[in-house]
Amino acid sequence: MKKDISIIGVPMDLGQTRRGVDMGPSAIRYAGVVERLEKLTQTIEDLGDIEIGSRERTASAESNLKNLKAVAEASENLAGKVAEVVQQGKFPLVLGGDHSIAIGTIAGLAKHYSNLGVIWYDAHGDLNTGETSPSGNIHGMPLAVSIGIGDSTLTGIGGKHTKIKPENIVIIGARSLDDGEKVLIKEKGIKVFTMHEIDRMGMTAVMEEAISYLKEQGTDGVHLSLDLDGLDPHDAPGVGTPVLGGISYRESHLAMEMLEEANILTSAEFVEVNPILDERNKTATVAVALMGSLFGEKLL
């Protein structure tokens, strides 16, 4: 994918309670993302970071959502920046920050794509609402928000409540789903490849099916939202909600290589890198290596 790439950093740690993930964009930059990708793209520019508000002392009394106002404001700002990048004909590459940033990323993309597809590469479904969430952490809600379910403060970001259709979503790597998320997945018919399918089918078959499925849906753009906790904690230890038994480093490279070959992606984000929980910036380094494969880096 010879793209003109614009990097947007989102130092967000308000979607959850473990501190440190706000340093994720800096860690990814320190791991050499610009240097790695500038060899593979037409041009690359770093637009700096979106401004993030202050942590709130208590959750919203009406919604049970933590840091609702600050997350919503940052999401609106991010949506505007992403929309601007797409308008310029460039590829938005968003660096997180916790996964609540996907609310803003997808809202910005939805301004330009009427039938957007999403690959959600994650151990979790992120399909909770204020009613189903055990924690009230918004980083467990961005996919629900993007299909128009949840608090109106969040679903209304970007001007319309439904950004993506449930049938245009493919979740890859799920292995930790709350009861409310399971109900929503079945109710909305969301396509999910759990670790069972990856183990049984192999990553090649999973990605082939995922890519074919999104093409069959007639998507006019495809966004990759990659949470580093989708990988096994052995390969990506610096995440806030690690879950054992995840996708391997090599399987993840294969997935990125196949997406590059398919040439269907129009945007991407890499989230949940937490340097405080990491080992010598290992997780950020993994993120950058995966970006290399996603943009066409080859061994030979």
CATH classification at residue 155 = 3.40.800.10
Q: Is 99 a catalytic residue?
A: yes
Residue 150 lies in a domain: yes
Residue 101 lies in a domain: yes
Catalytic position from the list 22, 49, 232, 272: 272
Tally of structural domains, the chain: 1
Q: Is 227 a catalytic residue?
A: yes
Residue 299 lies in a domain: no
Determine whether 281 is exposed, middle or buried from the number of CB atoms within 10 Å of its CB (0-12, 13-18, 19+): middle
Report DSSP letters for 247-295, one per residue: B-HHHHHHHHHHHHHHT-EEEEEEE---GGGSSTTHHHHHHHHHHHHHT
DSSP 231: B
Q: CB of 39 within 8 A of CB of 48? A: no
Q: Which domain holds residue 98?
A: 4-294
Q: Is 272 a catalytic residue?
A: yes
Catalytic position from the list 49, 98, 229, 257: 229
* Each residue's pLDDT tens digit, 135-172: 999 999 999 999 999 999 999 999 888 999 999 999 99
Catalytic position from the list 126, 151, 269, 297: 126
**What pLDDT is stored for residue 202 in this prediction?**
98
Q: Is 161 a catalytic residue?
A: no
Q: Is 49 a catalytic residue?
A: no
**What pLDDT is stored for residue 1 in this prediction?**
56
Q: Is 229 a catalytic residue?
A: yes
Q: Is 122 a catalytic residue?
A: yes
**What pLDDT is stored for residue 161 in this prediction?**
83
Catalytic position from the list 13, 227, 257, 297: 227
Residue 153 lies in a domain: yes
**Amino acid code (one letter) for 14:** L
Q: Is 151 a catalytic residue?
A: no
What tokens appear for 68 in the block? Answer: 């609702």
* Each residue's pLDDT tens digit, 248-258: 999 999 999 99
Does this model's pTM top 0.95? yes
Catalytic position from the list 13, 73, 99, 232: 99
Residue 300 lies in a domain: no
